[in-house]
Structure 1
């Protein structure tokens, strides 16, 4: 694959979590979160994007979100559970993406806010009007995802490099 080819990043916030008496890292999904995670998986599968890799936070709620979402995919991508995604800032998330091998074209990141929303806003130098309007109106609620495209190497991921081409969030 040429590094000049178009690449796709999907930023996917974990689904709604419950609040039992456990540490934040160990919080499981709530009933609504399980439903929304599966619906988000169906929506991601409907995009037709053949994901090469998923980078998932190690928290319980992100791992559960990913398990339910990927069950809806026609083909499961390689999954890497990455500790650095938990509580990561947009800059830290960019550093993780910069390490992605250039033979991968489409990468999905399953993480947390405010990192997911901040990264979507920072990377999107341009946007489809409808996607920008939906994301601006909805913010980045649980189980939301943003689809961004860019040309170049993963080492080139930096603020403003991408275009926001799609956005989805579950209805309340």
Structure 2
């Protein structure tokens, strides 16, 4: 793939988690989260994107979210479970995305708030106004995702270079 072709990123927050007596990293999805993860997968399919790579936090709730969502996709991308996503700041997530090989055109990152929401805001130098308004109004609830694009190699990803083209969140 040419670095002149647009790169696409989906930032996907894990679905609603349960609160059993386990460590935060091991928290599973709640029943509602399992339903919302599958719906989010269908909405990702509706976006028309075909993901080349999935970067997923190692936390139980993100792995379960991805397992349910990816089942709804027409194409299953290569998935890398990445410890650095758990509790990552937007800057740390940018550094991780800067490592993506240039032959990868489209990435989905499955992570946590506040990092995922902050990353969507920081990267979005421009936006479809409807998508920005929905994200600002809704925040970044569980199972929500933002769609962004930029041009250039992954190592050039930095604050303000992306266009926010879409935002979806489950109805509450």
* TM-score in same-fold range (> 0.5): yes
Measured after TM superposition, the shift of residue 6 of structure 1 is 0.4
CA distance in 1, matches of 2:2, 2:8: 14
Helix, strand or coil at the partner of 2:120? helix
**Other-structure match for 1:75:** 75
Cα-to-partner distance string for 1:37-70 (whole Å, 9 max, x where unaligned): 0000000011111100000000000000000000
Structure-to-structure mapping, 1:38-117, within 5 angstroms: 38-117=38-117
Helix, strand or coil at the partner of 1:10? strand
Measured after TM superposition, the shift of residue 2 of structure 1 is 1.2
Structure 1 alignment gaps of length 5 or more: none
Name segments (4+ residues, structure 1) moved above 4 Å: none
**Other-structure match for 2:170:** 170
CA-based RMSD of the aligned residues comes to: 0.4
**Other-structure match for 1:148:** 148
Measured after TM superposition, the shift of residue 4 of structure 1 is 1.5
CA distance in 1, matches of 2:74, 2:98: 27
Structure 2 alignment gaps of length 5 or more: none
Measured after TM superposition, the shift of residue 87 of structure 1 is 0.3
Helix, strand or coil at the partner of 2:93? helix
TM-score computed with the length of structure 1 as normaliser: 0.99
